[in-house]
């Protein structure tokens, strides 16, 4: 009989809200999300893991994961680079999520470039969907993927968090931030 998965949950305050951290019994990161999206997180865990996704025992700093996130938000950007992760998903999603981890901190790339990197240049929309289904934001850095025109497109935690993360990592400077704000304002008025 297969071993039943056991999950633990921790929470940590960040400059952009409370982050929920889900780990398995081996200390691998399984999911992250923001407090206001807790219902979405639990729904995802149930879909991927069944009953195991419903039984979350509180545990402070599982396998040092929370400490690594705290260090990242304090400016030690490399603190999350080698965290162990494990996710359920289709083989295509897994390929996209692995490619996301190869995007260096401080850089961005487009959905089209990501599709080419996984050898599926025509699968831009599918890459976007897989990016959006990523259960481990920040560590599997879906926020580093932007529109081909440089626009900040969808992020499950909200565009303002995406903007903050990119600025925090140095991928979006203050001047680019202002350009993005003006471009967004112009697009909204059209």
Catalytic residues: 142
Q: With contact defined as beta carbons under 8 Å apart, do 34 and 157 qualify?
A: yes
Three-point CA angle 54, 141, 110, nearest 5°: 130
What are 19's strand-pairing partners? 12, 34
Q: Element (H or E) spanning 17, and its range?
A: strand 17-24
Q: Please enumerate in sequence order all residues whose Cβ is within 8 A of that of 63, keeping only pairs 6 or more positions apart, or say none.
A: 23, 26, 27, 28, 84
Q: Is 89 exposed, middle or buried (0-12, 13-18, 19+ CB in 10 A)?
A: middle
Closest C-alpha to 5, from 86, 97, 98, 91: 86
- CB under 8 Å to 107, separation ≥6 — which residues? 144, 171
* Number of C-beta neighbours around residue 32 at 10 A: 22
């Amino acid at each position: 009989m297969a071993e039943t998965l056991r999950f633990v949950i921790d929470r940590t305050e960040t400059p952009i809200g409370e982050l929920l951290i889900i780990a398995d019994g081996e200390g691998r990161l399984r999911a992250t999300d923001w407090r206001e999206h807790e219902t979405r997180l639990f729904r995802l865990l149930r879909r991927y893991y069944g009953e195991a996704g419903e039984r979350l025992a509180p545990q402070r700093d599982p396998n040092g994961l929370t400490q690594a996130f705290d260090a990242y938000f304090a400016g030690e950007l490399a603190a999350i680079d080698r965290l162990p992760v494990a996710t359920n998903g289709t083989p295509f999603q897994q390929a996209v999520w692995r490619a996301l981890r190869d995007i260096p901190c401080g850089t961005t790339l487009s959905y089209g470039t990501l599709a080419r990197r996984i050898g599926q240049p025509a699968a831009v929309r599918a890459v976007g969907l897989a990016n959006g289904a990523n259960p481990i934001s920040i560590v599997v850095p879906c926020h580093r993927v932007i529109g081909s025109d440089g626009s900040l497109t969808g992020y499950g935690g909200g565009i303002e968090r995406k903007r903050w993360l990119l600025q925090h990592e140095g991928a979006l400077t203050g001047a680019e931030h202002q350009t993005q704000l003006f471009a967004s304002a112009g697009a909204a008025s059209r």
